[in-house]
Amino acid sequence: MALNDTVSYMDRPWVKNYPNGVSETIEYHRKIIPELLERNAKDYPNKNALIFEGYKIQYATLKQMVDHFSDCLIKLNIQKGDCVALILPNIIPCVVGYLGVLQMGAIAVFINPASSDREMEHQLNDSEASMIITLDLICNRIIDLRPRLVNVHQIIYTSLGDYLPFSKKISFALLGKHRKISVPVNKAPDVFRWKDLFNKYESNGYRMAAELKDTALYQYTSGTTGASKGVILTHENLSRQVQQLQNWLQTLEFANERILAALPFFHIFGLSSVLNFSIANAWTTILLPKPYPYPLYESILRYSVSIVPLIPTMFQNLLDTPSLDLSAIDSVKLYLSGSETLSVETLKAFMKKTGSPIIEGYGLTEASPVTHIMPPGYLKHKQGSIGLPLPDTLCRIVDLETGETDVPIGEPGELIIKGPQVMDKYLNRPMESDCTLKDGWIYTQDIVTMDQDGFFYLIDRKNDMIVSRGYYIYPREVEELILEHPTVKEVCVVNYPSPQQGEIAVAFVVPVSGEQILEQHLIECCEGKIPAYKIPQKIIFLDKLPKNSVGKVLRRVLRSKKYIEPTG
């Protein structure tokens, strides 16, 4: 790629490659997500809004449930501006609870049900949550944790069996405890069962209290590099994000698609790009609380799903399950990938098996989350690109040392972004907010390049970059090379301190099942293709890589001596 520093990032060279009909800037409506639900209930009352294990809820019913739950919150003394935590998988009460909280002007905070007690305690206390909505399976654990929580006054719990078709409901009642998918909840003060609240309090047809500028979410970062931070997102952030996506993906039909909710709503990608986006388009959302390959595949076939947003790990898991005939899927119009980098090898293998491309995007929690999406027409010519900035999204690439000077087109630097989807600030972290946000620009900590056509390419995380004897090593470049070896399933390259070199590259490799790889073979695979200083000085073989609940590799864990310098 020839370098060209005559083009300015502020010229927005990407606009000329926008898909037909996509606007450079958008005239935004001022409706918040609960108001879009209200519109759907009026215009499409009998259309299925949610499907969970075959149980269907239409838009009119969903709106009634949300209104009823907002009334319940008022009766329990939740006020506008209070924080309500949702510690739930993708089930119907999760959707109703979230929309009910937003509608009455309270602030939702999603917490991963698989979080450790320490992480839950941090997020609940940091957000000053006054209520928790959770699942019976973990409710006793949260009751035990409550003495350490500064502001939690009430707990509401639901069950996986609360909304099921009749036949499944009977089976759940008989076998739920035996299969450990239902547990009795210990009696404790101010602990309420979800359905009991609906029976106890009448609905008065609650009216909208939230406004566009109000805070909607405290969305915690995934914490792959340290303690999670609460990102403050407003109703305006969420509303404008879905309008950006609508403007970009115009080929999708309003009120006529089915989207798979396999991505957890406690992650911003699932919440914003699946649930909020679905409501904004009056689509049907297929709820899938455990996105294992078989139920994921079966849900797509059973419900003729047309939009499938997944993370790279989920795509790879589908490929790694040989009993699944991926070529049998003929309903999907659009596969979307985000949250982490999709390897070129996975992209090629999936396209070969399904005949369908994967549209990759880029984003971060602090940007609601999507900032870039790949236009479908350029998939072959710009393979490996994260795409173009969305409408109204400004991007620059600045030098790594000062973060002030724009680097020439084609050279790597830190991506900084400005747009209507960008967060207000971090919760309770003024210093980190000031470091991350400068004059409205958010510093992403991601190293990227941009070509002359305005397509962006993710190289690596700034914190993951390895500096060895003054030379820069980008882990992703080395990982992509090692992944070309036919017996390698997964790889992660991390930096590790070295007294002589400052840092060295260490590669963690997961072999294909049943295969054995010699370290020397992987080194030979790299020789001649990258400079010698970039070749990992240590290769460690693992059965699996440590990951968080949304499939991101925990690099900080791999950097520990436990993995790199095991004892015994």
Give pLDDT, residue 1.
Answer: 39
Half-sphere exposure of 444 (CA within 13 A, CB side): 28
Give pLDDT, residue 223.
Answer: 52
DSSP state for residue 504 in the 8-state scheme: E
Q: Residue 225 is encoded by which pair of tokens?
A: 């590099």
Give, for all 568 residues of the chain, the pLDDT tens digit. Answer: 344 457 789 999 999 999 999 999 999 999 999 999 999 999 999 999 999 999 999 999 999 999 999 999 999 999 999 999 999 999 999 999 999 999 999 999 999 998 889 999 999 999 999 999 999 999 999 999 999 999 999 999 999 999 999 989 888 888 877 777 889 999 999 999 999 999 999 888 767 889 999 999 999 986 544 578 999 999 999 999 999 999 999 999 999 999 999 999 999 999 999 999 999 999 999 999 988 999 999 999 999 999 999 988 899 899 989 899 999 999 999 999 987 777 778 888 898 899 888 899 999 999 999 999 999 777 678 888 899 999 999 999 999 888 899 999 999 999 999 999 999 899 999 999 999 999 999 999 999 999 999 999 998 877 777 888 777 787 888 888 898 888 899 999 988 888 777 788 899 999 988 788 888 888 888 888 888 888 898 899 999 998 876 677 888 788 877 777 765 4
Q: Residue 511 is encoded by which pair of tokens?
A: 């072999």
- How far is it, in rounded angstroms, from Cα 482 to Cα 525? 7
In angstroms, how far is the first alpha carbon of the chain from the final one? 49
Q: Residue 288 is encoded by which pair of tokens?
A: 């899938």
pTM, rounded to two decimals: 0.86
Give pLDDT, residue 2.
Answer: 43
CA-based R_g, the chain, Å = 24
Classify 193 as helix, strand or coil. Answer: strand
CB atoms within 10 A of CB 497: 10
Give pLDDT, residue 344.
Answer: 77
- How far is it, in rounded angstroms, from Cα 213 to Cα 225? 31
- Note the Cα 251 to chain centre separation in Å: 23
The answer to whether the CB of 155 falls within 8 A of the CB of 131 is yes
- Residue 467 pairs in a beta bridge with 472
The answer to whether the CB of 541 falls within 8 A of the CB of 511 is yes
Query: What does the longest C-alpha to C-alpha distance in the chain come to?
Result: 73
Exposed/middle/buried for 59, CB within 10 Å: 0-12, 13-18, 19+? buried
Helix, strand, coil: what percent of the chain each, to 5?
35, 25, 40
- How far is it, in rounded angstroms, from Cα 484 to Cα 330? 29
- How far is it, in rounded angstroms, from Cα 542 to Cα 120? 29
Q: Residue 473 is encoded by which pair of tokens?
A: 């090593």
- How far is it, in rounded angstroms, from Cα 508 to Cα 495? 11
Residues 6+ apart with CB under 8 A from 443: 403, 414, 416, 435, 436, 437
Query: DSSP string of 383-446?
Result: TT--BEEPTT-EEEEE-TTTS-SBPPBTS-EEEEEESTTS-SEETT-HHHHHHHEETTEEEEEE
Give pLDDT, residue 562.
Answer: 74
CB atoms within 10 A of CB 106: 25
The answer to whether the CB of 446 falls within 8 A of the CB of 464 is no
DSSP state for residue 61 in the 8-state scheme: H
Select from 211, 286, 277, 228 the least CA-distant residue to 249.
277
Classify 506 as helix, strand or coil. Answer: strand
Half-sphere exposure of 279 (CA within 13 A, CB side): 26
HEC profile of 443-499 = EEEEEEEECCCCCEEEEEEHHHCEEECCEEECHHHHHHHHHCCCCEEEEEEEEEEEC
- How far is it, in rounded angstroms, from Cα 95 to Cα 278? 12
Give pLDDT, residue 207.
Answer: 73
Give pLDDT, residue 477.
Answer: 82
Query: DSSP string of 306-369?
Result: -EEEE-HHHHHHHHT-TT--GGG----SEEEE-SSPPPHHHHHHHHHHHS--EEEEEE-GGGSS
Half-sphere exposure of 35 (CA within 13 A, CB side): 14
Which residue in the block uniquely carries the two structure tokens 């699996």? 544
Residues 6+ apart with CB under 8 A from 297: 318, 321, 324, 326, 329
Which residue in the block uniquely carries the two structure tokens 């590259």? 505
Q: Residue 38 is encoded by which pair of tokens?
A: 């209200």
CA dihedral 224, 230, 236, 242 (to 10 degrees): 20
Residues recorded for the chain: 568
